[in-house]
Structure 1
Amino acid sequence: MAFQRARTNNQIQKRQNDILNACSKVFDNHGYDEITLKMISDETAISRTTMYTYYKTKEDIFLDLIEREYLTWYDTLLNQFHDQMDRVTFCKILATTLLSQKQFLRLLSIQNTIIEQNSDPAHLVDFKKRTAVIFDAFEQGLTTTFPQSNKSDRDCFIVHFLIYSLGFYPYMHPNQKQIQSLQQADVQVPEINDEQLLYDGIFRLTSSLAK
């Protein structure tokens, strides 16, 4: 059967989802720098030429992929946050939900420095608008858990948490070159469980809120 052009909004959305799923699969097995539009196209029934109808660069594909991860995380947080949360529960929810989306953590580590830097400006603006809902989820969880906190401290926590999250994956998952260099330099890095480290970091970041 000949390849059919997507004409309806649903067809276009399905085509874009197929591309994002292909990108996710390729990203699971390759470094970001290795990935090309052809590699992504090869995982779909969509030719590289047709892909340009939807995405001009791989950065724009990755921008939509990370947006999908943000919105998945947003839905998960809203489903797990509840009125009886204490500090420990709040921190555990943030830690466990992030770790359940390991590709998301990996994407976060290159979001600001690579993906956004090379994305189409208009696409980036739309991305920022659509993913801003994550701040609503944070505000809901923080005001419920720390009702005595002020807006300035809550905003500060969010910024610090995002900075911490951006660096978490590369630290916990060094590549082979980095591992070998540490061994040759005789540098001993403490071994800490992923979940415990992420939870401990988040718990410390909430200290200004737990007054």
Structure 2
Amino acid sequence: MPKVSEEVLLARREEIIDACAQLYETMNFKDITLKEIGKVTTFNRTAIYNYFNTKEEIFLALMQREYDLWVADLEELLNDHDSLKRDELASALSHTLEKRSRLLKLLSMNHFDMEGNSRYENLVEFKRSYGRSMQTVRKCLDKFCPEMNEAAKQSFIYAYFPFIYGIYPYAVVTDMQKKAMAEAGVDYKYLSIYEISNNCLRKLLGVD
């Protein structure tokens, strides 16, 4: 590969991730290939291998970026408020997660495959972003719920983070799924990402 600047390398890497995100809006994970991703970049498909070995690595980088965006919103929440009541904190955290529907989709649908088919160094970089999200939520608890003890904060983290893995399939439902639920006689209330998250957070934070 001809020598290019670090800025160009980063820009090309981001272009590949953007292309993957674009395709993921209308295509299934299994149908998205490196060839399809290459079609919506400004350079040829072979060049993608200079940045990613598999499509799962591209998706993992996309999910890492989504975690980083969530952390940025959480940090903004921390900086913008001196204090929040527990119900306000539940609502504010839910609004930050509401903006990350792509993250929730990736977590619910394709997370296992992405981690299993990525190089170790890529996985480590992703886990750093994941870890920052946990640490930043913990900072929200430290600041806005100072009366919570260490065990309660740990319990919150270990309950909420596994919980968010399952939000997307409950909040984003196709017409066919709704029809099938009705025909099966399942009494189901459809809620938004915000509503599902807020209900959980209110319970975890002990809000009546």
TM-score (norm 1): 0.88
User: Which whole-Å CA distance do the structure 2 matches of 1:125 and 1:110 have between them?
Assistant: 21
State how far apart, in whole Å, the 2-side matches of 1:162 and 1:201 are.
11
CA distance in 1, matches of 2:157, 2:150: 11
Alignment match, 1:167: 166
Aligned positions, number: 205
Contact 2:75 2:136 in 1 (8 A): yes
- 1:86-97 aligned at under 5 Å gives the runs 86-97=85-96
From the superposition, tell whether residues 6 and 165 of structure 1 become closer, same or farther in structure 2 (CA, over 3 Å): farther
SS at match of 2:84: coil
Q: 2:48 aligns with which of 47, 51, 57?
A: 51
Alpha-carbon distance in structure 2 between the residues aligned to 1:44 and 1:53: 14
One-letter amino acid of the structure 2 residue matched with residue 17 of structure 1: E
User: Counterpart of 2:195 in structure 1: which amino acid?
Assistant: Q
Residues in 1 aligned to 2:19 and 2:43: alpha-carbon distance in whole angstroms? 10
Residue 113 of structure 2: aligned partner: 114
Name the structure 2 match of 1:126.
125
Paired residues of 2:167 and 2:193 also in contact (CA < 8 A): no
Sequence identity (%):
27
Q: Distance in 2 between matches of 1:177 and 1:114?
A: 26
Segments of structure 1 that go 5 or more residues without pairing to the other structure are none
Partners of 2:107 and 2:165 within 8 A in 1: yes
Are 2:77 and 2:92, in contact at CA under 8 Å, matched by a contact in 1? yes
**Structure 2 runs not aligned, ≥5 long:** none
Q: Is the contact between residue 23 and residue 62 of structure 1 (CA under 8 Å) also seen in structure 2?
A: yes
Alpha-carbon deviation of 1:94? 1.2
- Paired residue type of 1:160: A
Partner of residue 38, structure 1: 35
Root mean square deviation, CA, Å: 2.0
Is structure 2 residue 190 aligned with structure 1 residue 191?
Answer: yes
Preserved CA contact (<8 Å) 1:172 1:194: yes
Give the aligned residue type for 1:69. E
The change in CA–CA distance for 1:111 and 1:132 in structure 2 (over 3 A counts) is farther
